[in-house]
Chains A and B, each alone.
Chain A
Amino acid sequence: MLTLTVNGEKKQVASAPDTPLLYVLRDELGIMSPKFGCGLAQCGACSVLLDGVEIRSCITPVGPVATATSEITTVEGLPARWAKQHAQAMTESSLHPVQEAWIEQQVPQCGFCQFGMMIKATELLERNAAPSDDEIKEAFTTSGPSAHLCRCGSYAAILEGVRHAASLIANKNKSLV
């Protein structure tokens, strides 16, 4: 058995160590936000955070990430991630600012790619709280294993979503001070 830390919880998994993390999350742990898009690390639909860095779960074997110190975050875990980072209490309806922004700006069309998009946005904003438009575009195009692809064409909405999330984060941080 391997032990995996996902969204703050330790999970025992029976999958073989060479099984891609995507199938472990979805089939064994029932964590469904990472989606199968290509199995080739070319689209970003399966992205999760590994210790704050975006990885593609479709090509990442579970063995090497099942360590005592590695922590995986999926979209299901974004509200708790934000609450923990800001020492806030969680409620049923808590959302990460990126999720709030995605609703406020009505970002998704079909939404299939958006789990990976929100993971990428979270990674970006944790490193750069006030990215320029060029930095946002670069993050979603060249910073990871591949560009994050959206077939519906929601890129304009994503850009506005990240801008909005950045302003939400700035306001929340201000109110905490």
Chain B
Amino acid sequence: MSQINFDAATIYGAKLSRRGFLAAGGALAVYATLAPRDAFAQASAASHSLDPTRSSSWIEIRADNTVQFRTGKCDFGQSSIYVAYPQIVAEELGVPLEAITSVISGDTDRTPDGGGTFGLLRTNVVNLRKVAAYTREAILELAAQRFGVPKPQLTIKDGVVSAGSQSMTFGRLVQGQDLKLVIPVRGNATDFAGLVVDGDPPLKPVSAYTIVGKPLKNPSLAGKVTAKTMYATDVKLPGMWHGRIVHPPTLGSTLVKAGRLDGKKFPNSRIVVTGSLVGVVASDEWEAIQAAKDVAASTEWTPWKGLPGHEGLFEYLREKIDWSAVPVTQGAANKGDAAAAISGAAKVHSASYEFPYLKHAPIGPAVAVGDVQADGTVTVHTNTQNPQYLRKGIATMLNTSIENVVIRTYAGSGHYGRSNGGNAGAEDEAVLLSKAVGRPVRVQWMRPEDLQWSTQGSAMYSTVRIGLDRDGRVVGYQSDHFGPPMQDDRLIGAVLAGLPTINAPSATVPAPHQAQLLVRDNWVYHQIPNVAEVGHGTLQIGQQASPLHTGLRDHSMRTPIQFQQNFPREVAMTEAAALARLDALQFRIDQTNEPRLKDILTRLRDASEWQSRPSPSPDAASSGDRPVRGRGVSVIFRDNGFWACAGHAAVTPSTGVVKVERMTLVVDPGIVVNPLQLKRQVEAGCLMGVSIALHEEVPFDEGAITARDWLTYPILKMAEMPEIKLVLVNRPETGVYGQGSETANALAASAIANAVFDATGKPVRRLPLRPDLVKRALSA
């Protein structure tokens, strides 16, 4: 066994050390430095890990040339954890993709970093890429000492380090040694965004990439397609019982008297009451469902009214909210004097736009297994976008140390942002029921509960004013966005039970739970000289009137806040182009100085066979039984990527039915990490966007959400699917990795609304483009 002659080395601020020599195996493992307040992370890892010596390692290079990495993020079906991440890590390390044989994700006792499953390629992988860069530099350090040459003389290819005639695999370099690399980090794993890797190790130049950019398949799909993958809903523990919750009839009701459990009919069931949280637990799932229904029928609640009803929502927002109660926020691109420029403009477009509440609406309702042990330790088995933040929420609820809580994660139904602050629903209830009955309990929400007791993407209304000069140039742009907050991460079971949670939204709590409304639609029209965008926030709708301090609980959902603000911008820009008698696509090109945006709009014109002319179409009609056709364009800048979309639609004025015929998307995300996976992500995101555009609005009355099934919250069906054409534009020179599906969501609604305007000559300024609302817009 050859040995290297060092005890410790410093690598760009990271510390490489050898903890000992081994008779067999050998590895280089990478750890985060831990500040004193993070000491629990190591302690809990040691007490709950499968392999205490390796539990918090980020990347491991092993003697057999295999590599394992860990991430606190989870895959929700977009494949990034299993495909894009290995591509980026392998690329940065300089090993073949096949060397990465293991990815451990999500579980709080087996992953080091925490943070939410969002911005996977925008922010989170930047962490992992740096970890890989530190690791590669450590490998080079080992090789430099072994070969007796300076580091700059070394080269890396396919997991082999070479200098002149000497060469050695990564595995050989670590063989027989127990090597530890400690890298600098800041923050806490249980922070909303998790640990952040510090320092600036040298990164591999993008021009040298060979693995990033390949259209690789997602290895996790085989397990799903063969039903071998365990989903969260499939978890069974020894002695586990099934729980169902008897939820209140309104969002502000409290318990008067729990109903009676008929022990004769339901001999294997128990009722559990904590505050206003009523649960039924049974050894048999079907018995639990029936017993809960029976108990619900005789349970008494206080009545409550505190919501405006969805039909009166926008009037309520305009007239009943005191928008001065929460400080306003200013857009980052604001400049000049928009009000003055618009008041002196030759023509002014001025309108108001309305965006309804949306459900995340996973096909699988919320589900979790809680397992509270006699010693007070807790394990939650679920699917979540932010396991460490859920861990913190559960510990807060139980008033226990965070060390006592472990979150184990599984595949699950998509959450689309619902659990990016930890919880989707049912996790806390499973824990409370388990604690009460002293055995593991699985809580499965039923379909009505998942629609009525989960959070929703926030509603918003926006006023937009655009001033044009005599030549159709925009001289001023002004928008004011009004809406409730977007990130309620309180555990609803804990709220009902009267147990501790994080703070309710207010103007004084820190981000991301604040009531202030940020301006989040990244500005792209930099040729406009005067811009004033303002965000006006308020509390959750119903929050103040509710004894539970919860109303219509709002939460980020794909492209949160930006979608709500991009929709009015992109519809208003098309209406302003029409006012100037200009083509809406060229109008956008003329208002931007961003070459990437100009390029994708030019490509969109070709790819969509766009007819350049002003809207409305020469054949436009707003009445009659004959379908009229139109096309609309929209753009967005999100996660370092530029996106442009053209929607072609047919409208039947007499019925208000909109049929989306064709969607064309041109995407420049920066570096295309994996074109095959990005294509699938964008297509799917686009169709979710079409669903939102055509169908979606959360219905509610004065006390409760009234959606209870897929008829009352309809989503897109396959027969409604338009033809989709997609153009991916790879721009390695940008040095940024492109994001996938969620941005696609936000493009469809504005493009289709603009197509309806083109087809009919009547603007539609409220979503969804449902027959009743389209007819109302056509007769306006």
Q: Which residues in A have some Cβ–Cβ distance to B below 8 Å?
A: 15-16, 19-20, 23, 26-27, 30, 32-33, 35-40, 42-43, 45, 74-76, 95, 99, 102-103, 106-115, 118, 136-138, 140-142, 146-159
**Is the Cβ of A42 less than 8 Å from the Cβ of B710?**
yes
Q: How far is the CA of A150 from the CA of B77 in the complex (A)?
A: 12
Known interface pairs A157-B684, A158-B718; 17 further A-B residue pairs with C-beta atoms within 8 A, sorted by A's residue number: A35-B231, A36-B364, A37-B447, A39-B447, A43-B363, A45-B363, A45-B364, A109-B680, A111-B411, A112-B363, A114-B225, A136-B718, A137-B719, A147-B718, A151-B416, A153-B687, A157-B680
Closest residue of chain B to A40, judged by CB?
B709
Q: Which residues in B have some Cβ–Cβ distance to A below 8 Å?
A: 76-78, 217-218, 221-222, 224-227, 229-231, 233-234, 236, 284-286, 361-365, 411-414, 416, 444, 446-447, 676-677, 680-681, 683-691, 709-711, 715-721, 724, 741
Contacts of A110 in B (CB 8 A): 76-77, 362-363, 411-414
**Is the Cβ of B710 less than 8 Å from the Cβ of A38?**
yes
* Closest CB pairs A-B (n = 5): A153-B687, A110-B77, A109-B77, A33-B227, A141-B719
Which listed residue (B77, B218, B227, B365) contacts A152, Cβ 8 A? B77
**Is the Cβ of A152 less than 8 Å from the Cβ of B414?**
yes
**Is the Cβ of B285 less than 8 Å from the Cβ of A23?**
yes
Contacts of A95 in B (CB 8 A): 225-226
Q: How far is the CA of A156 from the CA of B229 in the complex (A)?
A: 23
Which listed residue (A23, A35, A75, A109) contacts B78, Cβ 8 A? A109
Closest residue of chain A to B681, judged by CB?
A109
**Is the Cβ of B363 less than 8 Å from the Cβ of A142?**
no
Which listed residue (B285, B711, B721) contacts A159, Cβ 8 A? B721
Task: Report the minimal beta-carbon distance from B330 to chain A, rounded to whole angstroms.
Answer: 35
**Is the Cβ of B231 less than 8 Å from the Cβ of A112?**
yes
A106 and B363 in contact, given A23-B286, A137-B718, A153-B716 (Cβ under 8 angstroms):
no
Task: Report the minimal beta-carbon distance from A59 to chain B, rounded to whole angstroms.
Answer: 12
Which listed residue (A115, A140, A156) contacts B227, Cβ 8 A? A115
Contacts of B414 in A (CB 8 A): 109-110, 112, 151-152
Contacts of B363 in A (CB 8 A): 35, 37, 43, 45, 110, 112-113, 149-151
Q: How far is the CA of A95 from the CA of B227 in the complex (A)?
A: 11
Task: Report the minimal beta-carbon distance from A32 to chain B, rounded to whole angstroms.
Answer: 4
Q: How far is the CA of A169 from the CA of B717 in the complex (A)?
A: 26
Contacts of B686 in A (CB 8 A): 153
**Is the Cβ of A138 less than 8 Å from the Cβ of B719?**
yes
Contacts of A40 in B (CB 8 A): 447, 709-710
Task: Report the minimal beta-carbon distance from B268 to chain A, rounded to whole angstroms.
Answer: 12
Task: Report the minimal beta-carbon distance from B358 to chain A, rounded to whole angstroms.
Answer: 12
**Is the Cβ of A112 less than 8 Å from the Cβ of B225?**
no
**Is the Cβ of A153 less than 8 Å from the Cβ of B225?**
no
**Is the Cβ of A153 less than 8 Å from the Cβ of B362?**
no
Q: How far is the CA of A39 from the CA of B222 in the complex (A)?
A: 27
16 pairs of residues in contact across A and B, judged by CB atoms under 8 Å = A32-B234, A39-B447, A95-B226, A107-B225, A109-B76, A109-B414, A110-B411, A112-B414, A114-B225, A140-B719, A146-B710, A149-B710, A149-B717, A153-B690, A157-B680, A159-B718
Q: How far is the CA of A158 from the CA of B611 in the complex (A)?
A: 31
**Is the Cβ of B285 less than 8 Å from the Cβ of A153?**
no
**Is the Cβ of A156 less than 8 Å from the Cβ of B721?**
yes
Q: How far is the CA of A118 from the CA of B286 in the complex (A)?
A: 26
**Is the Cβ of B709 less than 8 Å from the Cβ of A155?**
no
Task: Report the minimal beta-carbon distance from B682 to chain A, rounded to whole angstroms.
Answer: 10
**Is the Cβ of B676 less than 8 Å from the Cβ of A155?**
no
Task: Report the minimal beta-carbon distance from B691 to chain A, rounded to whole angstroms.
Answer: 7
Task: Report the minimal beta-carbon distance from A35 to chain B, rounded to whole angstroms.
Answer: 6
Closest residue of chain B to A106, judged by CB?
B680
Which listed residue (A20, A115, A153) contacts B691, Cβ 8 A? A153
Q: How far is the CA of A149 from the CA of B78 in the complex (A)?
A: 18
Q: How far is the CA of A156 from the CA of B720 in the complex (A)?
A: 11
A103 and B222 in contact, given A40-B447, A109-B77, A153-B691 (Cβ under 8 angstroms):
yes
Contacts of B711 in A (CB 8 A): 42
Q: How far is the CA of A75 from the CA of B234 in the complex (A)?
A: 15
Which listed residue (B361, B416, B444, B719) contacts A142, Cβ 8 A? B719
**Is the Cβ of A157 less than 8 Å from the Cβ of B676?**
no
Task: Report the minimal beta-carbon distance from B408 to chain A, rounded to whole angstroms.
Answer: 17
Closest residue of chain B to A16, judged by CB?
B286
A149 and B234 in contact, given A35-B364, A106-B677 (Cβ under 8 angstroms):
no
Contacts of A152 in B (CB 8 A): 77, 414, 684, 688, 741
Task: Report the minimal beta-carbon distance from A125 to chain B, rounded to whole angstroms.
Answer: 16
A151 and B715 in contact, given A112-B414, A157-B684 (Cβ under 8 angstroms):
yes
Which listed residue (B233, B365, B709) contacts A42, Cβ 8 A? B709
Closest residue of chain B to A105, judged by CB?
B680
A106 and B718 in contact, given A19-B286, A42-B709 (Cβ under 8 angstroms):
no
**Is the Cβ of A15 less than 8 Å from the Cβ of B286?**
yes
A151 and B221 in contact, given A35-B233, A158-B718 (Cβ under 8 angstroms):
no
Contacts of B690 in A (CB 8 A): 153
**Is the Cβ of A112 less than 8 Å from the Cβ of B412?**
yes
**Is the Cβ of B284 less than 8 Å from the Cβ of A27?**
yes
**Is the Cβ of A36 less than 8 Å from the Cβ of B76?**
no
Contacts of B680 in A (CB 8 A): 106, 109, 154, 157
Which listed residue (B78, B447, B688, B724) contacts A151, Cβ 8 A? B688
Q: How far is the CA of A45 from the CA of B365 in the complex (A)?
A: 11
Task: Report the minimal beta-carbon distance from B340 to chain A, rounded to whole angstroms.
Answer: 44
Q: How far is the CA of A95 from the CA of B224 in the complex (A)?
A: 13
Greatest chain B CB density within 10 A among A40, A75, A76 is at A40
**Is the Cβ of A154 less than 8 Å from the Cβ of B227?**
no
Contacts of B226 in A (CB 8 A): 75-76, 95, 99
**Is the Cβ of B416 less than 8 Å from the Cβ of A147?**
no
Contacts of A103 in B (CB 8 A): 217, 221-222, 225
Closest residue of chain A to B447, judged by CB?
A38
Task: Report the minimal beta-carbon distance from B775 to chain A, rounded to whole angstroms.
Answer: 24
Q: How far is the CA of A107 from the CA of B45 in the complex (A)?
A: 36
**Is the Cβ of A36 less than 8 Å from the Cβ of B717?**
no
Task: Report the minimal beta-carbon distance from A15 to chain B, rounded to whole angstroms.
Answer: 7
**Is the Cβ of B221 less than 8 Å from the Cβ of A108?**
yes
Closest residue of chain A to B229, judged by CB?
A111
Q: How far is the CA of A25 from the CA of B676 in the complex (A)?
A: 35
Task: Report the minimal beta-carbon distance from B382 to chain A, rounded to whole angstroms.
Answer: 14
Closest residue of chain B to A161, judged by CB?
B225
Contacts of A149 in B (CB 8 A): 363, 710, 715, 717
Which listed residue (A118, A140, A156) contacts B687, Cβ 8 A? A156
Task: Report the minimal beta-carbon distance from B686 to chain A, rounded to whole angstroms.
Answer: 7
Task: Report the minimal beta-carbon distance from A175 to chain B, rounded to whole angstroms.
Answer: 23
Q: How far is the CA of A177 from the CA of B605 in the complex (A)?
A: 49
Closest residue of chain A to B362, judged by CB?
A151
Task: Report the minimal beta-carbon distance from B414 to chain A, rounded to whole angstroms.
Answer: 4
Contacts of A155 in B (CB 8 A): 687, 716, 718, 721
A154 and B684 in contact, given A95-B226, A110-B76, A149-B717 (Cβ under 8 angstroms):
yes
Contacts of A109 in B (CB 8 A): 76-78, 414, 680-681, 684, 741
